[in-house]
Structure 1
Amino acid sequence: MNDKISQDSINKALWAACDTFRGTVSADTYKDFILTLLFVKYISDVWQDHYDGYKAEYGDEPELIIEMMKNERFVLPIEASFYALYDRRHEPGNGERIDQALHAIEEANGTKLKDAGKSVFQDISFNTDKLGEEKQKNTILRHLLEDFAKPELNLKPSRVGTLDVIGNAYEYMIKNFAASGGQKAGEFYTPPEVSDLISDLLDPQAGDSICDPACGSGSLLMKCGRKVVSNHGSKQYALYGQEAIGSTWSLAKMNMFLHGEDNHKIEWGDTIRNPKLLDKNGDLMLFDIVTANPPFSLDKWGHDEAEHDKFSRFRRGVPPKTKGDYAFILHMIETLKPNTGRMGVVVPHGVLFRGSTEGKIRQKLIEENLLDAVIGLPEKLFYGTGIPAAILIFKREKPDNTVLFIDASNEFKAGKNQNILTEENISKIISSYRDRAEYAKYSHIASAEEIKENDYNLNIPRYVDTFEEEEEIDLVEVRLERERLKSHLALLEGEMNKYLEELGYGA
Structure 2
Amino acid sequence: MIELTSQEKINSVLWQAADTFRGKIDSSTYKDYILTMLFIKYLSDSYKEKVEEYSKRYNGDDQRIQRALSRERFVLDETSTFDHLYSKRNDPEIGEIINKALERVENENTGKLRGVFRNIDFNSEAILGKAKERNAMLRSLLEDFNQLSLRPSQLGNEDIVGNAYQYMIGLFASDAGKKGGEFYTPAEVSELLASLVKPQENDRIYDPTCGSGSLLLKVAKQVPSKKVAIYGQERNGATHSLALMNMYLHGIDDAKIEWGDTLANPLHLDDGKLMKFQVIVANPPFSLDKWAMGFAGEGNDKKFKMEPGLDPFRRFDWGVPPSSKGDYAFVQHMLYSLAESGRMATILPHGVLFRGASEGKIRQQIIDMNLLDAVIGLPENLFYGVGIPVCIMVFKKDRKLKDVLFIDASGEEHFQKGKNQNKLREQDIEKIVDTYERREIINKYSYVATIDEIKENDYNLNIPRYVDTFEEEKPVDMVSVKENIVNIKRELQGIEEQMEEYLKELGL
TM-score when normalising by structure 1: 0.93
Judge conservation of contact 1:186–1:295 (CA < 8 Å) in 2. Answer: no
Question: Which of 119, 122, 133 pairs up with 2:118?
Answer: 122
- 1: distance between equivalents of 2:484 and 2:95? 76
- 2: distance between equivalents of 1:503 and 1:123? 88
- Counting only pairs closer than 5 Å after superposition, residues 19-58 of structure 1 correspond to structure 2 as 19-58=19-58
- 2: distance between equivalents of 1:319 and 1:496? 75
Letter in 2 for 1:220: L
For 1:209, the equivalent position in structure 2 comes to 204
Judge conservation of contact 1:273–1:305 (CA < 8 Å) in 2. Answer: no
Letter in 1 for 2:444: K
For 1:274, the equivalent position in structure 2 comes to 265
Residue 69 of structure 1 aligns to a residue in which SS?
helix
Judge conservation of contact 2:408–2:463 (CA < 8 Å) in 1. Answer: yes
Judge conservation of contact 2:112–2:254 (CA < 8 Å) in 1. Answer: no
- Counting only pairs closer than 5 Å after superposition, residues 141-156 of structure 1 correspond to structure 2 as 141-150=138-147, 153-156=148-151
In the TM superposition, what is the alpha-carbon distance from 1:235 to its structure 2 partner? 2.5
In the TM superposition, what is the alpha-carbon distance from 1:492 to its structure 2 partner? 6.6
Kindly indicate whether residue 481 of structure 2 is the aligned counterpart of residue 468 of structure 1: no
In the TM superposition, what is the alpha-carbon distance from 1:446 to its structure 2 partner? 0.5
Letter in 2 for 1:296: F
Residue 345 of structure 2 aligns to a residue in which SS?
strand
Moved more, 50-59 or 5-14: 5-14
Across the aligned residues of Structure 1 and Structure 2, the Cα RMSD in angstroms comes to: 2.1
Question: Which of 317, 320, 323 pairs up with 2:319?
Answer: 317
Question: Which of 149, 159, 164 pairs up with 1:164?
Answer: 159
Judge conservation of contact 2:5–2:149 (CA < 8 Å) in 1. Answer: no
Question: Which of 128, 131, 147 pairs up with 1:131?
Answer: 128
Residue 48 of structure 2 aligns to a residue in which SS?
helix
- 2: distance between equivalents of 1:71 and 1:162? 23
- 2: distance between equivalents of 1:493 and 1:126? 82
In the TM superposition, what is the alpha-carbon distance from 1:162 to its structure 2 partner? 3.5
For 1:291, the equivalent position in structure 2 comes to 281
Displaced runs of 4+ in structure 1, greater than 6 A?
489-504
For 1:445, the equivalent position in structure 2 comes to 448
Q: Among all aligned residue pairs of Structure 1 and Structure 2, give the percentage whose two residues are the same amino acid.
A: 54
Kindly indicate whether residue 15 of structure 2 is the aligned counterpart of residue 15 of structure 1: yes
Moved more, 127-136 or 344-353: 127-136
In the TM superposition, what is the alpha-carbon distance from 1:476 to its structure 2 partner? 4.1
Judge conservation of contact 1:406–1:444 (CA < 8 Å) in 2. Answer: yes
- Counting only pairs closer than 5 Å after superposition, residues 361-440 of structure 1 correspond to structure 2 as 361-410=362-411, 411-440=414-443
> What residue ranges of structure 2 are gaps of 5+ in the alignment?
294-304
- 2: distance between equivalents of 1:490 and 1:76? 92
Judge conservation of contact 2:449–2:466 (CA < 8 Å) in 1. Answer: yes
Moved more, 467-476 or 56-65: 56-65
In the TM superposition, what is the alpha-carbon distance from 1:249 to its structure 2 partner? 0.6
Moved more, 316-325 or 411-420: 411-420
Judge conservation of contact 1:373–1:394 (CA < 8 Å) in 2. Answer: yes
Task: Note closer, same or farther for the CA distance 1:57–1:447 as it changes in structure 2 (3 Å cut).
Answer: same
- 2: distance between equivalents of 1:244 and 1:67? 38
Letter in 2 for 1:85: L
Judge conservation of contact 1:164–1:259 (CA < 8 Å) in 2. Answer: yes
Kindly indicate whether residue 233 of structure 2 is the aligned counterpart of residue 238 of structure 1: no
Task: Note closer, same or farther for the CA distance 1:488–1:3 as it changes in structure 2 (3 Å cut).
Answer: same
For 1:263, the equivalent position in structure 2 comes to 254
For 1:99, the equivalent position in structure 2 comes to 99
Residue 281 of structure 2 aligns to a residue in which SS?
strand
For 2:298, the equivalent position in structure 1 comes to none
- How many positions carry a matched residue from both structures? 493
Residue 154 of structure 2 aligns to a residue in which SS?
helix
Residue 239 of structure 1 aligns to a residue in which SS?
strand
Residue 341 of structure 1 aligns to a residue in which SS?
strand
Task: Note closer, same or farther for the CA distance 1:501–1:313 as it changes in structure 2 (3 Å cut).
Answer: farther
In the TM superposition, what is the alpha-carbon distance from 1:496 to its structure 2 partner? 8.5
TM-score when normalising by structure 2: 0.92
Letter in 2 for 1:135: K
- 2: distance between equivalents of 1:361 and 1:489? 67
In the TM superposition, what is the alpha-carbon distance from 1:393 to its structure 2 partner? 0.6
Moved more, 365-374 or 16-25: 16-25
For 2:188, the equivalent position in structure 1 comes to 193
- 2: distance between equivalents of 1:53 and 1:322? 58
